Each structure stands twice: as C-alpha cells, then as structure tokens.
C-alpha cells in the first residue's frame, strides 16, 4: 500500500514537473502533444497497476489543460463513451487536440458521465486538477478516436475494477448523487464552465458541489481510506479556484509537495490547497457540510454584477438534485441576451450560453433546463407547459341568456378575476408581514425573557450573600416589550381592520409577566380561551 502511494506520488511529481515546463509553452500544443506522448510512453513502460493508470490519466488531463485551442472549444460534439470504453486510453498526439476540442458539449451518456470542459486558458489548470480521478479521466480520454495502446487492454480492465473500489470507499452521501451503473462508472455531475472570453475566471465556483468534493475525496481515498476533512477540502478548493494569479504558484507548490515523500497524502493535498491566496471577493460559500450531510444548495442572486453565491441551506437531505438555481429577472435578461447573440433559442446551445452569460455558480444543468423552459414558453405562447390545466367552461353555459342568469362578458369577467386576484395578493402580503412580525416579536420576547432570567440568577447569587436584597420586580422588565408590541399591533390594526385581533395580541403579551416560569425560556403559548 505504502509503496503504491509513493509510486503514485513519484509519477505525479514527474508529471507535474514536466507539466510545469510544458505549461509555459502552452501555446504550442504540438509540444504538448509531444510531451504528453513522451510522458505517456514513459509511464506506460513503468510498473503496471493502478498507479500507472492514474499517472497516465493525470497526464491526459494536464495536456488537455494546456492545449490551447479556443476555436475548438465551441465545437459541441457529444462525448460518446460507451463504445470506446472498452478500448482504453487514447494517447495520441493528434488525438489530444481532438480530445480537447471534443470536450465541448457535456453529454449525458448512458454511463451517466457528464463532462463539460472547455479548455483554452491555463486558468483551467486549477479546476481540472481537481478532476483527478480515474473515472473522470477515463471519460475524457475515451471521447476521441479510440486508439488502444498495446498495454492498455489489461490496464483498462484493471482500472475499471479498481474504479469500482472507489465508490464504495467514498462514504459520503454525495455518492448517492452518482448512479451506480453495472460497470461501476459512477455518475459524476460536473460542470466546469470556463469561459474563454473573460480572462478573470472563477471556474471553481461553477463546479457543482458534489463534483467538487467527490473527485478529490475519491482520489484521496486511494489507496488508503484517508478521510479528509470535508471542510478543509471544501474551503481550500474554493480558495484555490478563485484567484487566477496564484495558479502558477499553486502548481509549484503542488509539485514540491507531491515530490516530497513521507508526508501523508492527505496533508500534502490540504496544505497545497490551503496555501492558495485568499480571494478578495466572496468565494462560493462551501460550508463543510457536504458529504455525509450533503444538502441542497441553491444559488441566490445577491450582487448586481451577476455573481451568484451558493447558499448552503443546511438540510440533511439526499442530494438527488444538483444545486438549485434561483433565477432572477436579471439572470434571465443575461440569458436572453446570450441566446440572442447565439442566434436564437433553437440554435443556442447550453454550453455556449453558459459561457456567454459568465455568471458564477451557474452550471450547465441550470442553463439546459432554463433553455428548455424558454423554448417551450416561446413556441407555445398561448399555453406554456408549466401552466396547470384550466378547464374552460363550455360555451353553452356562458352564452345562455337568462334573465336571471346573465352571463357576463369577457372584459367584465376578466375584471372580476383581476379584482379577486388583487385582493388575494394584498391579503397574502399582509398575512406574510404579520407572520414575519409575529416571529420577530417572539424572538424579542424570548430574548427579554432570557435576560430577565439571567438577571434573576445573578440576583439570587447576590442575595445568597446578601439576604436583604430582593429580586428585581418582574413586571417592569417584561412590560417593556409590550410597548413595541403595541406599536406593531396598532399599525397592523389599520391594515387588517381587526380591532379585536390587535387587542387580543397585546393582552396576550401582557399576560406573559404573570407566567415567568413558562417552559424554558421560550414563551410557550398556553391553551387559553380566546380573549375577546
């Protein structure tokens, strides 16, 4: 086990070192290919086994990163994995270019692998480094023309079996996001939407939550069950991604770290990642609750600049969905603009729209589904799909001209409808505000309660040493909250036209002082007859 680890590290170190050199000449992809080939051959000739595969696969990714072929990034060709899977890796010089170009459109294949990469700038190095898992890299490599290397046949087979080991080791509920296919290629939802247009990118932010942790975790799990702190990884991953400038230094550090032996793999990874500069702006909020307590994340839109943050609502639910996106009109505007630039909703592809939109936290999933909705809404202007079924009353019923039962005209009917709807809206707004305030009040009361209790405790302590002192009078303290409460209820009365309701609320509040020992510190409402 240990030797395997060391071997891997050695391989990686080698690869990294070589890649650093290569990186500086990234514009000449021919060199890349040459290098890749060279390294590939080298690693191929080394010891067989999973370590070899890892290294080989790593190199593919690196080459992809460094290949610079922006025009190809716009090609959207599906990556078909099924057919080529059996044929193992592809490391051919020309293929690498093709490979890179192929990584345009993400394609949900039967194996459930979902890859979206568009490489063009070295900034991609960072996020793609995170793709160091055998599974993903296989997918990359398989996309281009299958040219099996001689030694690959066995290796591929071996790899698939070793890959299957990982899902079981990865004991995170993010694993549930992966569909377990019979041949054990787990579903990886990822989207590293990197833009070619903008130099300052934050690709990591676009990467789906589960994708981010999962590959890293899986890799770190190999070959030992190294449990890395989710939080550490998460925050460091975020940190890493957001600053472009540190990319170069990161690479250096990585290379250094990985070449030095004896450090546990875990710490070397963590150190490397953590050493990235802290970004000035707010990175994706990636709280360490991914994994065993994987939760739904949704993207909220706080900043006008179009940046989005992942709000992490700490719900321990199974992550069947990808991070949910909350579309705002601004987002939609940007979306429509992008679509129009690309020639309309029919011609635009999710990947390109994603790139054009350049919104942090937006994944290709979001764009895809949004595009679908958009298309439907446009081509069915009368009744978009999302609308619930409406039963139109039969015409006979309406056109019957009865003296008593007069059918009303369209406009009048519409006006009527609007009236009711407006009223419902108004009442809902009021109700919602009331609910908010009620909770606010409740919190305030609770606070007062707790404060009072604290004071009581203190006074008790004081009085134990000084028996003459008496505890502070209770009502004066607690009556205070009823004053703001009065204000609130008074204003609400105007809105709601509920005289009785308002006074009931106030009397209820005033009754609190008489029950200071209500359960705990929370002013639990006791069952009482309606005060009226």
Q: For residues 197 and 414, which CB has a smaller minimum distance to other proteins in the complex?
A: 414
CA distance 265 to 273: 12
Q: For residues 123 and 488, which CB has a smaller minimum distance to other proteins in the complex?
A: 488
Q: For residues 200 and 318, which CB has a smaller minimum distance to other proteins in the complex?
A: 318
* Contacting range for other proteins; rule: CB under 8 A; set: 35-43, 160-168, 452-460, 497-505: 497-505
* Contacting range for other proteins; rule: CB under 8 A; set: 79-87, 224-232, 369-377, 459-467: 369-377
CA distance 76 to 68: 16
Q: State in angstroms the smallest separation of the CB of 333 from other proteins.
A: 8
CA distance 216 to 131: 7
State how far the alpha carbon of 200 is from the alpha carbons of 123, 241, 439, in Å: 8, 11, 43
Bridge partners for 299 per DSSP: 310, 325
Query: With binding defined as CB under 8 A, does residue 475 bind other proteins?
Result: no
Q: State in angstroms the smallest separation of the CB of 275 from other proteins.
A: 34
Residues 384-443 that bind other proteins (CB under 8 A): 384, 386-395, 397-399, 401, 404-425, 427-429, 431-432, 434-436, 438-439, 441-443
Query: What pairing do the DSSP bridges indicate for beta strands 309-312 and 297-300?
Result: antiparallel
Q: For residues 386 and 467, which CB has a smaller minimum distance to other proteins in the complex?
A: 386
**DSSP letters of 190-216?**
------SS-SS--HHHHS-HHHHHHHH
DSSP state of 471: P
Q: For residues 342 and 496, which CB has a smaller minimum distance to other proteins in the complex?
A: 496
Query: With binding defined as CB under 8 A, does residue 303 bind other proteins?
Result: no
Query: With binding defined as CB under 8 A, does residue 21 bind other proteins?
Result: no
Bridge partners for 423 per DSSP: none
Q: By CB under 8 A, name the one of 151, 252, 267, 328 that touches other proteins.
A: 328
Q: By CB under 8 A, name the one of 24, 82, 245, 378 that touches other proteins.
A: 378
Q: State in angstroms the smallest separation of the CB of 367 from other proteins.
A: 12
Query: With binding defined as CB under 8 A, does residue 454 bind other proteins?
Result: no
DSSP state of 302: -
Q: For residues 290 and 325, which CB has a smaller minimum distance to other proteins in the complex?
A: 325
Query: With binding defined as CB under 8 A, does residue 267 bind other proteins?
Result: no
CA distance 189 to 215: 11
Enumerate residues 6+ apart whose C-beta is below 8 A from 234.
Answer: 212, 213, 286, 287, 288, 290
* Contacting range for other proteins; rule: CB under 8 A; set: 86-94, 122-130, 240-248, 371-379: 371-379
Q: Are 180 and 335 in contact (CB under 8 A)?
A: no
CA distance 326 to 298: 7
């Amino acid at each position: 086990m240990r030797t395997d680890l060391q071997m891997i590290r050695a391989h990686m170190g080698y690869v990294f070192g070589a890649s650093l050199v290569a990186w500086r000449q990234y514009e000449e992809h021919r060199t890349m290919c040459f290098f890749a080939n060279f390294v590939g051959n080298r690693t191929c000739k080394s010891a067989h086994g999973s370590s070899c595969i890892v290294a080989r696969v790593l190199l593919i990714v690196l080459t992809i990163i460094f290949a610079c072929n922006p025009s190809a990034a716009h090609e959207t060709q599906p990556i078909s994995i099924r057919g080529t899977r059996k044929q193992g890796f592809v490391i051919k010089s020309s293929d690498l270019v093709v490979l890179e170009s192929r990584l345009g459109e993400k394609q949900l294949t039967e194996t459930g692998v979902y890859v979206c990469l568009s490489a063009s700038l070295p900034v991609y190095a960072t996020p793609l480094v995170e793709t160091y898992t055998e599974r993903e890299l296989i997918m990359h490599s398989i996309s281009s023309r299958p040219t099996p290397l001689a030694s690959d046949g066995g290796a591929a087979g071996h790899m698939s079996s070793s890959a299957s080991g990982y899902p079981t080791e990865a004991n995170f509920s993010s694993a549930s996001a992966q569909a377990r296919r019979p041949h054990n290629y787990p579903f990886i939802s990822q989207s590293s939407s990197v833009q070619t247009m903008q130099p300052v990118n934050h690709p990591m932010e676009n990467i789906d939550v589960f994708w981010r942790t999962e590959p890293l975790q899986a890799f770190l799990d190999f070959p030992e069950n190294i449990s890395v702190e989710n939080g550490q990884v998460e925050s460091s991953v975020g940190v890493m991604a957001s600053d472009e400038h540190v990319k170069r230094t990161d690479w250096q550090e990585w290379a250094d770290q990985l070449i030095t032996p004896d450090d546990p793999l875990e710490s070397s990874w963590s150190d490397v990642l953590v050493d990235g500069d802290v970004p000035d702006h707010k990175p994706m909020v990636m709280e360490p609750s991914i994994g065993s307590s994987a939760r739904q994340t949704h993207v909220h839109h706080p900043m006008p600049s179009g940046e989005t943050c992942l709000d992490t609502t700490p719900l321990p639910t199974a992550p069947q969905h990808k991070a949910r996106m909350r579309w705002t009109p601004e987002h939609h505007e940007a979306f429509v603009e992008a679509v129009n630039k690309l020639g309309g909703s029919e011609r635009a592809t999710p990947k390109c729209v994603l790139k054009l939109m350049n919104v942090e936290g937006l994944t290709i999933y979001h764009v895809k589904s949004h595009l679908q909705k958009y298309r439907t809404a446009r081509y069915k202007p009368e009744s978009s799909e999302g609308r619930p079924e409406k039963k139109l009353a039969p015409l006979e019923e309406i056109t019957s001209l009865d003296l008593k039962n007069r059918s009303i005209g369209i406009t009048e009917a519409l006006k009527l409808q609007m009236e009711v709807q407006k009223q419902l809206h108004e009442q809902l707004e009021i109700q919602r505000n009331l609910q908010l305030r009620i909770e606010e009040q409740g919190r305030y009361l609770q606070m007062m309660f707790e404060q009072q209790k604290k004071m009581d405790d203190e006074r008790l302590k004081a009085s134990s040493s000084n028996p003459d002192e008496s505890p502070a009078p209770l009502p004066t303290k607690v009556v205070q909250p009823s004053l703001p409460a009065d204000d609130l209820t008074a204003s609400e009365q105007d809105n709601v036209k509920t005289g009785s309701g308002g006074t009931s609320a106030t009397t209820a509040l005033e009754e609190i002082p008489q029950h200071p020992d209500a359960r705990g510190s929370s002013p639990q409402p006791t069952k009482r007859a309606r005060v009226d």
